[in-house]
């Protein structure tokens, strides 16, 4: 079965001759959602008139047991349809993650580009046309070689689609190799900081294994993994909060594509499947991901799990199986074979070149419009702390502080007007 992604998705229920339509998402009105429950969206033909009117009604003459059965049937149907909607997440990096003892200061970034399935086809077609205009129709465009004008064209293209960026930036060159080794050991030890005997034995064993694997990583690879670790946590939080308000069906599945580069695929696959999930799980234990009240997270239900500490679920709290999310559809792919990775590469290069001062403002100043504004650090800047009592410290690079405010000023708001109205109503 193939469902064209440009069609409105709707589930129709017929009860005693009345037609009830559950419409979780439409192309024309993103985020138009009717919550499952006793109330359904009803199209009732008006007597003596043509057309339909739309209103929320209760199913008449049905008790809660019967209504619950209809709700469950609709929920299953919606979840089936949602398997055809998913977000594509493309992850790439730019710059070197090599400790140079301060000999050379250069920004290195790990970046994620999130593209809704409903935008995927049109975006790829538009990007192919842009590549032709830039003279690279048959090959790959590298962000490091783009002029200011070309870089601005790529950003302008992405602005037309509901994509979002998330990035983590570090200056690895300012650190000594011994400092990275010490920091790596401390980070590995922190994995068990909030874990008790009450947590699931499998989780405890995974974290112990992750500790050993992290300590064994070469320092350059550890910095990459550390940035990826921070990125995935932020990216999942931002993407779920953002699309749960606008395109909730997109959260029914996650497609991960990571640039394979020249590295051996097997070690990186092992890191993604065995090391990254426990790291994310440990981070969410210390810092749970945020949720937007009133947003529709129902399409994430297929990833629901029990609390990792074995306790009873707390009403109003949700527990997500991060391992299932990360392994839902994962592949390491050469960027020359994937247009999404090429766009992620360009965005990562634009960001690092802006921070390094090798790309002038006309080429990067509109990049901020692809980020979602966060209360603290829309673009995550990492400065590894050499103090054993601290996890990180403030970034002191003056060039970075000249670029980041421009990016944050143009970042789009997280909350929709509807969510803001709900917040205002609840505060009265």
Same domain, yes or no: 74 and 132: no
Looking at the fold, whether 261 and 361 belong to one and the same domain comes out as: yes
Per-residue pLDDT of the chain (428 residues), as tens digits, is: 233 333 334 445 555 555 555 444 333 333 333 333 333 333 322 223 222 233 333 444 444 444 455 555 555 544 444 445 688 999 999 998 988 877 777 899 999 999 998 898 899 999 999 999 998 867 888 898 999 999 999 999 999 999 999 999 999 888 888 888 988 888 888 877 767 777 777 777 777 888 888 888 888 888 988 899 889 999 999 999 999 999 988 888 899 999 887 655 556 667 777 778 777 877 776 677 788 878 888 888 888 877 765 666 666 667 788 888 888 888 888 888 899 999 999 999 999 999 999 999 999 999 999 999 998 889 999 887 666 555 555 676 888 888 999 999 999 999 998 888 887 777 66
Q: Please indicate, yes or no, whether residues 248 and 360 belong to a single structural domain of this protein.
A: yes
Q: Rounded CA gap, 4 and 256, in Å?
A: 22
Answer with the one of 61, 82, 103 that is the final residue of a domain.
Answer: 82
How many domains in the chain? 2
Say how many C-beta atoms besides its own lie within 10 A of residue 166's C-beta: 28
E strands, 278-418, where? 330-333, 380-382
Instruction: Return the ∠ at Cα 250 (arms to 404 and 167), rounded to 5°.
Output: 20
**Is residue 426 included in any domain, yes or no?**
no
Question: Using CA atoms, how far apart are residues 262 and 239, in angstroms rounded to an integer?
Answer: 29
Q: What are phi and psi of 410, to 5 degrees?
A: -95, -5
Out of 82, 116, 142, a domain closes at 82
* Residues pairing with 330 in the sheet: 256
Task: Give the three-class secondary structure for 422.
Answer: helix
Boundaries of domain holding 283? 87-421
Clarify whether residues 19 and 140 are in a common domain: no
Of 82, 97, 120, which residue sits at a domain end?
82
Judgement on whether residues 24 and 75 belong to the same structural domain of the protein: yes
55 and 118 part of one domain: no
Residues 259 and 353 in one domain: yes
Question: Do 53 and 181 belong to one domain?
Answer: no
Locate tokens 């709700």: which residue?
71
Same domain? 217 vs 241? yes
**CATH number (domain holding residue 312):** 3.30.420.10
CA-CA distance, 67 to 72, in Å (whole number)?
9
Terminal-residue alpha carbon distance, the chain: 48
Q: Look up the pTM and report it.
A: 0.76
Q: At what angle do helices 117-133 and 148-159 cross, to 10 degrees?
A: 150
Please return the burial class of 249, using the count of CB atoms within 10 Å of its CB with bins 0-12, 13-18 and 19+. buried
């Amino acid at each position: 079965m193939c469902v064209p992604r440009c069609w409105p998705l709707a589930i129709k229920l017929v009860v005693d001759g009345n037609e009830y339509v559950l419409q979780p998402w439409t192309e024309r009105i993103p985020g138009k959602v009717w919550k499952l429950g006793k109330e359904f969206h009803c199209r009732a033909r008006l007597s003596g008139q043509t057309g339909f009117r739309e209103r929320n009604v209760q199913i008449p003459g049905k008790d809660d047991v019967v209504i619950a059965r209809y709700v469950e049937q609709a929920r299953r149907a919606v979840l089936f349809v949602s398997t055809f909607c998913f977000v594509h997440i493309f992850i790439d990096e730019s710059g070197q993650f090599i400790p140079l003892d301060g000999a050379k200061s250069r920004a290195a970034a790990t970046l994620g580009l999130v593209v809704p399935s409903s935008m995927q086809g049109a975006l790829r077609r538009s990007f192919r046309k842009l590549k032709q205009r830039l003279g690279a129709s048959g090959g790959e465009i590298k962000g490091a070689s783009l002029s200011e004008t070309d870089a601005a064209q790529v950003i302008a293209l992405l602005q037309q689609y509901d994509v979002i960026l998330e990035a983590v930036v570090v200056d690895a060159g300012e650190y000594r190799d011994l400092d990275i080794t010490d920091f790596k050991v401390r980070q590995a030890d922190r994995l068990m900081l909030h874990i008790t005997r009450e947590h699931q034995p499998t989780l405890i064993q995974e974290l112990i294994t992750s500790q050993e694997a992290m300590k064994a990583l070469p320092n350059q690879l550890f910095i990459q993994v550390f940035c990826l670790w921070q990125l995935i946590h932020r990216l999942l939080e931002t993407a779920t909060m953002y699309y749960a308000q606008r395109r909730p069906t997109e959260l029914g599945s996650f497609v991960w594509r990571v640039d394979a580069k020249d590295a051996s695929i097997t070690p990186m696959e092992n890191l993604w499947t065995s090391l990254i999930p426990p790291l994310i799980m440990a981070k969410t234990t210390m810092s749970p991901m945020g949720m937007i009240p009133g947003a529709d997270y129902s399409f994430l239900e297929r990833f629901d799990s029990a609390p990792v500490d074995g306790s009873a679920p707390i009403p109003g709290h949700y527990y997500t199986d991060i391992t299932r999310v990360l392994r839902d559809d994962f592949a390491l792919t050469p960027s020359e074979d994937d247009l999404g990775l090429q766009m992620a590469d360009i965005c990562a290069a634009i960001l690092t070149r802006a921070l390094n001062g090798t790309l002038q403002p006309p080429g990067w100043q509109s990049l901020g419009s692809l980020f979602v504004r966060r209360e603290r650090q829309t673009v995550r800047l990492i400065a590894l702390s050499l103090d054993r009592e601290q996890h990180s410290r403030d970034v002191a690079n003056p060039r970075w502080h000249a670029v980041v405010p421009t990016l944050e000023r143009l970042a789009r708001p997280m909350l929709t007007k509807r969510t803001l109205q709900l917040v205002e109503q609840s505060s009265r």
